[in-house]
Amino acid sequence: MAEMTIKRFSVLSVGKMQSLLMGIIGLIIGVIYGLIFIFVGAAFTAIGSRSDAPNLGGVPSIVLGILAMILFPIGYAILGFIVGCIWALVYNAAAGMVGGIKFELESVGPDYAAPPAPHQWVPQ
């Protein structure tokens, strides 16, 4: 086992990774909310279409659902990048004072074996 310490993180690296992860979460949440808004808007439009008067009942809700699917991932990714960079800076400052996070690594593969001795090449 080897004990190691995380002394510092690359701020942009953490920001990019956090941006990607939060963008994926924003996509999932945006699709869920978007589908809910679209289904509710479609239901209101269907209920309102029984009369002869033109009715936009659920159209704003449908538009809001589509915008949620587009804007949630973008917003989450931007905020994820900003928060990731801030947390990396805070960690780097704290690790400078405290010393970082210590952890142990354990090898899961076979132990190292020396390579076989080289063979002498003999021409035929």
List, for residues 28-69, the tens digit of each pLDDT value.
999 999 999 999 888 877 776 555 555 566 778 888 999 999
76 inside domain:
yes
Give the phi and the psi of residue 104 in degrees, each rounded to 5. -115, 140
120 inside domain:
no
* Cα 63 to Cα 95: distance, rounded to the nearest angstrom: 47
- Residues with Cβ < 8 Å from 39, sequence gap 6 or more? none
pTM: 0.72
Domain assignment of residue 17, given as a range: 2-105
Q: What burial letters (b/e) apply to 53-79, b meaning 16+ CB within 10 Å?
A: eeeebbeebbebbeebbeebbeebbee
Into how many domains does the chain fold? 1
